[in-house]
């Protein structure tokens, strides 16, 4: 494995080393303004090396798998000017089994992706020909490898599938944008449901009504939850907590929300868009309660 070769070479001069390698194949189809805009495929390799030399960190990256000596040399040189290190690399840990790879997605080719996108746009145009319709499909197949000098070594193959339909409707000086999409790690998805949801958003916005200023009740759909959770997300962000800048500082054990509310960070949801057994720093992932 290339990551193991990087560890061995860098450890000749470094006290600690971490290496990651990402290999990725992507196919994407984009429609815009009622027509096919692009259909592309690409391949990508990304190698990242982190070294600790005399208590300082050096980083280096390359997209060339044959540049092992070069990436090691650059990381060691960068360590001379690096920031002081106040952490240790993680030891090997046990990983939770997770479902992150769908072999059915391998068989999805661009002609079928184009067909699906066109079908979704046709549904939107059938509802209202004045809507400038669009659609997008993106398929990723990738492998992520991690290793460090403390013996931790993991690798995982992932699939990603993102699909959406949208459009814009111009009426006088008003421009309405609406759409719906799904991101997950498996192929199984109802493209007609996605187009139907996009159409429903246009239907709900058809009537423009004047509103007087004042206080009034507001109903949030589930899709609006992200706006309500934005400040909470900043409060539990790892950097904010580490720096002591979180507004929830010293609130552990205190009531901060309705007693019926529970929020859990779950990185192990089957085929979830962010599901993985370990993170980019080699830490085995687990379910973490945010609010209980």
pLDDT digits (tens, 9 = 90+) for 105-150: 999 999 999 999 999 999 999 999 999 999 999 999 999 999 999 9
List, in order, residues 6 or more apart from 255 with CB less than 8 Å away: none
User: Are residues 147 and 179 in contact, defined by beta-carbon separation less than 8 angstroms?
Assistant: no
Domain-located, residue 285: yes
Within a domain: 223: no
Cα 254 from Cα 145, distance rounded (Å): 40
For residues 29-56, average pLDDT? 97
231 in a domain, yes or no?
Answer: no
CATH number of 102's domain: 3.30.2290.10
- Does 228 reside within a domain? no
Range of the domain at 273: 2-208+237-291
CB 78 within 8 A of CB 61: no
Domain count, the chain: 1
- Residue 216 in any domain: the answer is no
d(CA 156, CA 101): 9
Helix axis angle, 191-204 to 110-127, nearest 10°: 30
- Read off the pLDDT of each residue in 282-292 and give the average, rounded to a whole number: 94
What pLDDT, in 10s, does the model give residues 176-191? 999 999 999 999 999 9
- pLDDT tens digits for 231-271? 899 999 989 999 999 999 999 899 999 999 999 999 999 99
Give a yes or no: residue 20 inside a domain. yes
**With the C-alpha atoms ordered 246, 250, 253, 258, is the resulting torsion angle positive or negative?**
negative
Q: How much is the pTM?
A: 0.87
Mean pLDDT taken over the chain: 95
What pLDDT sits at residue 10?
97
Please give the pLDDT value at position 228.
85
DSSP 68: H
Residue 58 lies in a domain: yes
Does residue 245 lie within any of the structural domains? yes
Q: What is the pLDDT of residue 225?
A: 85
Contact 33, 177 (CB under 8 A): no
205 pLDDT higher than 90: no
């Amino acid at each position: 494995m290339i990551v193991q070769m990087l560890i061995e070479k860098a450890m000749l001069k470094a006290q600690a080393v971490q290496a990651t390698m990402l290999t990725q194949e992507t196919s994407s189809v984009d429609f815009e303004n009622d027509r096919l805009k692009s259909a592309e495929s690409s391949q990508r390799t990304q190698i990242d090396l982190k070294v600790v030399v005399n208590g300082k960190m050096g980083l280096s990256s390359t997209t060339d798998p044959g540049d092992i000596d070069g990436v090691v040399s650059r990381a060691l040189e960068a360590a001379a000017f690096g920031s002081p290190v106040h952490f240790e690399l993680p030891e090997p840990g046990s990983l939770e089994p997770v479902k992150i790879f769908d072999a059915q997605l391998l068989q999805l080719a661009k002609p079928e992706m184009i067909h699906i996108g066109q079908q979704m746009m046709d549904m939107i145009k059938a509802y209202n020909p004045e809507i400038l319709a669009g659609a997008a499909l993106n398929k990723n197949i990738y492998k992520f490898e991690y290793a460090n000098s403390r013996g931790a070594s993991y690798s995982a193959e992932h699939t990603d599938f993102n699909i959406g339909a949208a459009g814009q409707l111009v009426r006088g000086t008003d421009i309405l944008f609406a759409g719906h999409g799904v991101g997950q790690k498996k192929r199984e998805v109802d493209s007609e449901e996605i187009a139907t949801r996009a159409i429903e958003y246009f239907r709900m916005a058809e009537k423009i009504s004047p509103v007087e200023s004042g206080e009034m009740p507001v109903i949030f759909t589930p899709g609006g939850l992200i706006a309500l959770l934005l400040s909470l997300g900043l409060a539990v962000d790892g950097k904010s907590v580490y720096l002591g800048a979180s507004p929830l500082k010293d609130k552990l054990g205190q009531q901060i929300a309705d007693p019926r509310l529970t929020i859990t960070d779950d990185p192990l949801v089957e085929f979830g868009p962010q599901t993985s057994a370990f993170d980019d720093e080699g830490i085995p992932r687990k379910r973490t309660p945010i609010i209980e």
